[in-house]
Amino acid sequence: MFLPTFINGLTIASYLFILAIGLNLSFGLLRIVNMNHGTFYLFGGFIGWNVLKITQNWYLGLLLAGVSMGIFAFLEEFLLLRRVRGKTTVETLITLSISIIFADLVILFWGGYPRQIRIPKLLQGQFTLGNFLVPKYNVFIILFALFIGITFWLLLKKTKIGMIIRAGVDNFEIVSTLGINVKMLFTGMFTVAGFMAGIAGMIGGTFQMIAPGEDFRVMINTLLVIIIGGMSSFEGSILGSLIIGMIFTFGSLLAPQFSLFFMFAPVAIVLTIRPQGLFGKRR
């Protein structure tokens, strides 16, 4: 039972990483926790479901889920958050208000019952690994997260814009004095976070399901990843996703009645010993 459970945990960790990486990096720049990040996930999943239903093309649904949420994130930052920049409480309340409003819109548009996104034909079936069968779709999620991770690593470590982002995470006030358009940097990272959340919604909705209330659950899990790994840390997003994914999977299997305890206990320990997270920096 270990190998199938491990693969399942790695799969959950992979789509949590896709969801967390954009939020974590944008938080490092904007200094706010976007409370409607789970809304991006849920709306992206439902939009992808609608596209699949109309076009019968899962990959087009994946693309449009990301693009639509990227556009929504851009408009939110450009029209609302930019106007109150620096007022952390107001910024957080705006994102929380949007989350509540759009949670009701989900029920209005799609009803209150869950939807299962159909796995594309190419990714249906299983691989044989020794005496075990591993779903192709699980392998796809893991490989896709690996691709995203490598892409972000190259962007952050090997490009000029990555250098600017890393400098902005450490001290965006100094970056702004160097003549860099910090407003566009903020907007760009917030848009990327929305795009990644929309993609995660389509992927996660196919792996499990999408339903009203999933935005809150996913948001909590993403925050746990960030708290454990460290704010604005790429490496922390990887480690935090792995820890939460494995704890959730093995905890649900071995002692489901204590699954929430297993999820939150590491968070309490990390906050006590290292409040900035395992890879976070003190500010």
pLDDT digits (tens, 9 = 90+) for 252-283: 888 888 777 888 888 888 888 888 888 876 65
Q: Is residue 132 in a domain?
A: yes
The whole-chain average pLDDT of the chain stands at 86
> In this structure, are residues 276 and 282 in contact, taking their beta carbons and an 8 Å threshold?
yes
Give the residue from 183, 157, 163, 149 showing the smallest Cα distance to 74. 183
Q: Could you give the CA distance from residue 103 to residue 40 in angstroms, rounded to a whole number?
A: 10
Q: Could you give the CA distance from residue 234 to residue 238 in angstroms, rounded to a whole number?
A: 7
pLDDT single digits (tens) 111-129: 888 888 999 999 999 888 7
Q: How confident is the model at residue 180 (pLDDT cuts 50, 70, 90)?
A: confident
Q: Could you give the CA distance from residue 18 to residue 34 in angstroms, rounded to a whole number?
A: 16
CA dihedral over 56, 59, 63, 69, signed as positive or negative: positive
Q: Is residue 272 in a domain?
A: no
The domain tally of the chain equals 1
Q: Is residue 165 in a domain?
A: yes
Helix (H, G, I), strand (E, B) or coil at 128: strand
Residues 6+ apart with CB under 8 A from 60: 51, 52
User: At CA 23, angle to CA 17 and CA 27, rounded to 5?
Assistant: 135
Mean pLDDT for 39-65 is 94
Q: Could you give the CA distance from residue 269 to residue 8 in angstroms, rounded to a whole number?
A: 25
80 phi-psi bin (left φ>0, alpha ψ -120 to 50, beta other): alpha
Q: What confidence score (pLDDT) does residue 17 get?
A: 93
Exposed, middle or buried: residue 249 (CB in 10 Å: 0-12, 13-18, 19+)? buried
pLDDT single digits (tens) 153-170: 888 888 887 787 777 766
Give the domain range for residue 36: 17-217
Q: Is residue 236 in a domain?
A: no
Q: Could you give the CA distance from residue 183 to residue 249 in angstroms, rounded to a whole number?
A: 40
Mean pLDDT for 2-30 is 84
Q: Which helix (H) or strand (E) holds 204?
A: helix 182-207
Mean pLDDT for 132-154 is 91
Q: Is residue 255 in a domain?
A: no
Q: Is residue 281 in a domain?
A: no
Mean pLDDT for 61-73 is 95
Q: Is residue 181 in a domain?
A: yes
Q: Is residue 276 in a domain?
A: no
Q: Could you give the CA distance from residue 214 to residue 197 in angstroms, rounded to a whole number?
A: 13
Mean pLDDT for 97-113 is 89
> In this structure, are residues 192 and 70 in contact, taking their beta carbons and an 8 Å threshold?
yes
Q: What confidence score (pLDDT) does residue 188 get?
A: 86
Quote the pTM value. 0.90
Distance from the first to the final alpha carbon of the chain = 43
Q: Which helix (H) or strand (E) holds 219?
A: helix 214-229
Give the residue from 222, 194, 218, 241 showing the smallest Cα distance to 44. 194
pLDDT single digits (tens) 184-216: 877 888 899 999 999 999 999 999 889 988 888
